Copies of this chain bind each other. A is one copy, B any other.
Amino acid sequence: MQKIDIYPIYIEPFHVDFTGRVFMGVLGNHLLNAAGNHSQKRGWGISALNENHHTWVLSRLSIEMTEMPRNYQHCQVSTWVESVMKLFTTRNFAIKDAEGNPMGYARSVWAMIDTETRRPCDLVTLYDGDLLNYVVSDEENVCHIEGHGRFRFRDAQLVRTLTTCYSDIDINGHVNSIKYIEHILNLFSRQQMERGIKRFEIAYKAESYMGDTLSFYVQPVDDNEIDVEVRKNISEDSNGDVVCQAKVRFNVSDE
């Protein structure tokens, strides 16, 4: 079986922002759909795994674009497994236009857990190490963006607090991975978002649920980059738990 799958995507009118570029959350959704389909085709889809009390957990996602898909544009997403380690597997993505010209790339890190014990599984030995069959060669692993960075929060400022609602929650009862991306980008001004996003990184740390209070802390890195930490259920007595951390790098303006 081939190791890289290609999925067509189409950018719908309600899926673009006020600049006409696709929302980063929508692009992330396309990537996760491609990942899901690619896994499923190889017997590693969520439904098959669930029968054995296993499920994928997304740990990291980094998307870096030279050009963001625009309204009504037909594009394609290719995806493949880059590596398999004991506790994590890495999956990469390329986003191309209809003619196959690269528009950007993405990297992701996934763990698998046993849904009964909530403990991580050994991906190298699980199902007789079948996952290793899908790792691409170095030549095929074309993903021209940096790996996931590190976060260091020192003097982040609390800028918003919100309570999660119905539309945040997925079929598993968790706030869905894409909604964090939307909430984080909602922190920024019209002027910031006009520049567009060069790179978006997110590290998922803990689940949150309907009715949880999410607090958003912002820490500027430089003129073009801002780190965001999301904590849940902070109180007078507690700093709460870190739910996710993100790094947003804006395009450097042309002027």
Binding site for B on A (CB under 8 A): 12-14, 16-20, 23, 25, 29, 32-33, 36, 46, 71, 165-167, 169-173, 176, 178, 182, 185-186, 188, 190, 193, 210-211
Contact = CB atoms under 8 A, between A and B. Distances in A.
Contact of A25 (B13, B16, B19, B167): B167
A46 B19 CA distance: 17
Contact of A18 (B23, B46, B173): B173
Count copies of this chain in the complex: 2
A167 B185 contact: yes
A210 B178 CA distance: 21
Contacts of A166: 17-18, 185-186, 188, 190, 193
A165 B23 CA distance: 13
Contacts of A17: 166-167, 169-171
Most chain-B Cβ atoms within 10 A of its Cβ — which of A33, A165, A190? A165
